[in-house]
Structure 1
Amino acid sequence: MSSYTIIVPDSSMLSRVCGTNDGNLRLMESFLGVPVFARGNELSIDSGDSSLEQKFRFAVDRILDEFSSGSGVVSDEEVVRSVINGGAECSLSIAIPGGTKKVFPRTRGQSVLLQKMRTSDIVFASGPAGSGKTFIAVAEALRLLLSHKVHSLVLSRPVVEAGESLGFLPGDLQDKINPYMRPLFDSVNAVLPPDTVKRLTESGIIEIAPLAYMRGRTLSSCAIILDEAQNTTVEQMKMFLTRMGENSKVFVTGDPSQVDLPRRTPSGFLHALNLLRDVDGISTAKLTSEDVVRNGLVKKIIQAYENEER
């Protein structure tokens, strides 16, 4: 029987993976069904089973990812238990060629969303702020782009003011639009090195396209993300969806609780969710406050507002 070893260069991270008195290792052993050994900066198992080795690798990678991105609200043991209890989710990840890290769905809802993105050409993702819908969409789109499954990535948002006026922002049109597109680029910058982001944007492979400027285009061999889609009108949503060309993927994300359209103007996002839910090739995923992965207080805030609305 051969030994399979994972090197953890950060000794503090390795200590956290092992846990107090190796308590976390015992949890991993119950999950894997084989002993886990810690020697120096290495974790290893005795196995000749490639599927078990992959399960071990995904579990350790995801635990390390959770430790790196966690807010400290939950204990290390709770993180390990959460990963282990996720079961099959441990084998689901987004590996972006040339990326700075592997991206894991961190909740059941995010895992379902990613699965639908892998199997459908158009996916509508509905959920509250902080539920990871935009981040998962951007990471999966970048995987498609840098794996050469598509040739370009288009990032789009409707330019709708949430109580502020676009006209009073300083600078030219591009300067005015940049604040609206910043959240999408924050997600891009979180998983790609700065020089790669610069190269892809300067060459036009990653393109910023405000929704108003997409009329008349056909986007082929392209990953297309429409963010903040709850602020589209019915006509805008129809226009956007019909831009889709051959060999393209479309991810539409929105938060129905944050519609900034003028009163009595129907949301194109909500209309499309209802109209297209039974169309073959189109999937919908609904994330909830349980999928919120920002600061723990964000989840509590969203739940408080939801309770008041009920």
Structure 2
Amino acid sequence: MTDSTDVAATTAPPTAKHTVVVPNSINMVSLLGPGDEHLGLIEQAFDADIHVRGNRITIEGQPSEIALAERLLEELVAIIRTGQGVTSETVERVLAMLRAETTERPADVLSLNILSNRGRSIRPKTLNQKRYVDSIDKHTITFGIGPAGTGKTYLAMAKAVQALQSKAVNRIILSRPAVEAGEKLGFLPGTLTEKIDPYLRPLYDALHDMIDPESIPKLLAAGTIEVAPLAFLRGRSLNDSFIVLDEAQNTT
């Protein structure tokens, strides 16, 4: 007598094939990258076979993977149409937003131009940065909370310069608490400016990215832009101003 063993049959998930036709106005090198660098990233990101012939991109795999790959290509095309270049970082950021299933279009997030200076544009690089910028537009006070290096101060300053250039405000106030010395700077050598300059240097550095360096001394001298420790702003009336308070967690 022989024991019979039931073997569960495994069925491969259904596959499909779809072809995306890239508009003739889109440069395929801009889309797929030099040496197909972007295409390589896309192939690694999806469990699908991708083939390119001319301006036709054929994707074969599971329907869900095909749909996501198509959306990625659509977003990259939309970004290129705005005149913005696509990089490997762009591909990765768009893919991350699509996988997060957000309501915002990645192309809208990454194509938002906050400020341009000397041929360089300042834009949000992540969805949360876009939401942060939108909050600054909509609300009188916005709190930016996050790890160092996530663009909180930089984007706020870009919005301040944008508001000044569009005449939405008359001046910019940039401040941070000089807590390293307890805001009692008398023991330090030099003039008042020399005493506080090290604490405010990050704000000056950001300003030089956003405004013609030759204009900054004039704006500072006229009081159109003011950079000062928080202690020196207490008790003042600051009307028609865009105020950026950096390191606000140290104000207590």
**TM-score, structure 2 as length reference:** 0.64
- 1:209-268 Cα offsets, whole Å, 9 max, x none, are 3211222321111100111111112xxxxxxxxxxxxxxxxxxxxxxxxxxxxxxxxxxx
The structure that has the greater radius of gyration is 2
From 66, 74, 77, the counterpart of 2:88: 77
From 222, 244, 248, the counterpart of 2:241: 222
Q: How does 1:298-309 map to 2 (within 5 A)?
A: none
Which residue does 1:127 correspond to in 2?
A: 146
34 and 167 in structure 1: CA distance in 2 versus 1, 3 angstrom threshold: closer
164 and 205 in structure 1: CA distance in 2 versus 1, 3 angstrom threshold: closer
Compute the displacement of 1:85 (Å): 4.9
Compute the displacement of 1:15 (Å): 7.5
User: Aligned partners of 1:25, 1:170: CA distance in 2, in Å?
Assistant: 57
Q: How does 1:82-231 map to 2 (within 5 A)?
A: 82-83=93-94, 85-86=96-97, 87=106, 88-96=108-116, 100-161=119-180, 166-231=185-250
Contact 1:62 1:90 in 2 (8 A): no
User: Aligned partners of 1:124, 1:35: CA distance in 2, in Å?
Assistant: 31
- 1:61-107 Cα offsets, whole Å, 9 max, x none, are 264xxxxxxxxxxxx535423246541312423124x5652111112
Question: Partner letter of residue 93 of structure 1?
Answer: N
User: Aligned partners of 1:34, 1:210: CA distance in 2, in Å?
Assistant: 43
- Give the 3-state SS of the residue equivalent to 2:237 in structure 1: coil
190 and 180 in structure 1: CA distance in 2 versus 1, 3 angstrom threshold: same
CA RMSD of aligned residues (A): 3.5
User: Aligned partners of 2:110, 2:206: CA distance in 1, in Å?
Assistant: 22
Q: Sequence identity of aligned pairs in percent? A: 38
Question: Partner letter of residue 80 of structure 1?
Answer: V
The answer to whether residue 76 in structure 2 is matched with residue 56 in structure 1 is no
Relative contact order, higher structure (CA 8 A, sep 6+):
1
Contact 2:219 2:225 in 1 (8 A): yes
**May I ask how many residue pairs the two structures share in their alignment?**
194
Structure 2 gaps, min length 5: 1-22, 43-56, 58-69, 98-105
- Give the 3-state SS of the residue equivalent to 2:113 in structure 1: coil
Compute the displacement of 1:152 (Å): 0.5
Compute the displacement of 1:189 (Å): 1.0
- 1:11-63 Cα offsets, whole Å, 9 max, x none, are xxx88972323745996x85454997xxxxxxxxxxxxxxx5xx4344x5264
